Amino acid sequence: MRTRVYSIKKVFQVKDRITQKDSMTLFLGQTVQGEGLDSLVTEVHECLPGKIEWGVVFESLEHLAGVTLTEEILDTVAWRLAGNLERLKLHRPALPWCRQEVDEIVPVQILDVYPGYTPTRKFGGTFPLRILAGTPASHIIDQFWTSGYCRLIAQILGFSAPWGKRQYIDLRQFVGLRLSVRIATELSGSAPRFEKLWQEDDKIKPASLYQWNQDVLRMRRRDTFQCPRKYPLDQVQCHFCVVGTDECLAATHEATYTKSYCEVCEKDNWFDPASPQQDLCLECYHKSLRGGDG
């Protein structure tokens, strides 16, 4: 099994350095070929730290030949290279993931949650998890966890005991947290999959991810953070707030909710602009998940 502790801070720094470099805009919308590929490799190579050879970056990007570069493709490439810096330093290209060769411990971040039920009517949520580093870096995998399982692993991720100040209450509190998982070869077919968290002594490993989660939860407790809208904590908790990460670092969903008339419940209510059920207000959407049983 491949186990490596990654500097997530560096991963984000390098990824942003690539995607936010002004000269990268020259390649967007262009078909990568010939000298254009060489130029793109050079621009990306300049964003990478340490003694990484130009040739190994070329091997990592060679698959882009003949491809029209979009922001999404550039973002994926940046994640893959930033999440495999040590591999690149060892003169091994970071190629697009096609299969899992060995079991591998990788860090992931929880991006969102979509509440729902199992076929046996157990309530839980589908969590999209972005793999931050390792050979499958850049992949987003969906994992369904029941609310019972979430309660089981809450303290492992960094929540306090139920009587503490940072207790787990709702699925949405998991959004933004980080953990390490074991990508298993026997589970990974067309996409990387995992079954087990990487933990020890009832805490996720490495300690840096556990600390990150505690810092996020303290921020949502307003211990180290001031609400941009100055909502009192006893009236508006972060995981119930309508404000999204487009306005607030402590938010647990991407887009700030908008208020509009819902033709289903026939009243003004909150809508999530990022929801796949945009024709339903949030209240009606959650009712639909329960089969309309209130």
Delimit the domains of the chain by residue range: 8-89, 104-220, 238-289
pLDDT tens string 50-90:
889 999 999 999 999 999 999 999 999 999 999 999 999 99
Average pLDDT value for residue range 281-289? 84
Annotate 140-205 with three-state secondary structure. Answer: EEEEEEEHHHHHHHHHHHCCCCCCCCCCCCCHHHHCCCEEEEEECCCCCCCCCCEEEECEECCEEC
> What are the structure tokens assigned to 254, written together?
């991407």
Buried b (16+ CB within 10 A) or exposed e, 79-112: bbbbbbbebbeeeebbeebeebeebbbbbbbbbb
Please give the C-alpha separations between residue 210 and each of 13, 98, 180, 181, 221, in angstroms, as whole numbers. 20, 30, 10, 13, 17
Average pLDDT value for residue range 41-51? 94
- For residues 137 and 95, what is the distance between their CA atoms, to the nearest angstrom? 10
**For the whole model, what pTM was predicted?**
0.91
Using an 8 Å Cβ cutoff, are 58 and 41 in contact? yes
Helix axes 8-19, 71-82, angle to 10 degrees: 150
